[in-house]
Amino acid sequence: MHPIVSFTAETEFSGKNKDFLSCDENKADTIAFISTALTERGCHVIQSPGDADVDIVKITVERSRLCTTTLVGEDTDLLILLLHYSIRDNEAIYFRSDANKQSKEHKVYNIKLLKEALGDDAVSCSLSMPTRAVI
């Protein structure tokens, strides 16, 4: 059992992140704290309950109507969903793979170009394929 911790931006943390975040209230407070800080700095923040992949991708596509947008993640599902939900008329959407954190180089995919290169049939088929690999 791990204690509930009250904190501010000035709080120094000593301990294990895993232990701290294993308490649901600590996790919720951390998410709220980060969301507030990002919102105050002009970022568009959404919170999604449960598995958020589809929500994240739909918001990314929605934001790409206004400006070039980059989604950073390490889940192949995000790339497949971006290919499926992206709209040709929107601004550019990029997917940056953050899977290899030891390397300073990251793979960046231009969704519009990738979707054109694959074709509609391949993009449609990709939704039915299992996607457990990390890219």
Instruction: Give the pLDDT confidence of 68-82 residue by residue, as tens digits.
Output: 999 988 888 999 999
Amino acid at 64: S
Position 80 scores a pLDDT of 92
| Structure-model confidence comparison of residues 41 and 2, the more confident one | 41
- The average pLDDT across 111-120 equals 91
* CA distance linking residue 98 with residue 19, whole number of Å: 24
Domain ranges of the chain: 1-45, 53-126
Q: For the chain, how big is the Rg over CA atoms in Å?
A: 18
The pTM (predicted TM-score) of the whole model is 0.66
Instruction: Give the pLDDT confidence of 46-71 residue by residue, as tens digits.
Output: 777 767 899 889 999 999 999 999 99
| Structure-model confidence comparison of residues 24 and 127, the more confident one | 24
Position 134 scores a pLDDT of 44
* CA distance linking residue 16 with residue 103, whole number of Å: 24
Whose CA is closest to 123, among 78, 69, 82? Answer: 82
The SS3 of residue 115 is helix
Pairing of strands 93-97, 69-73: parallel
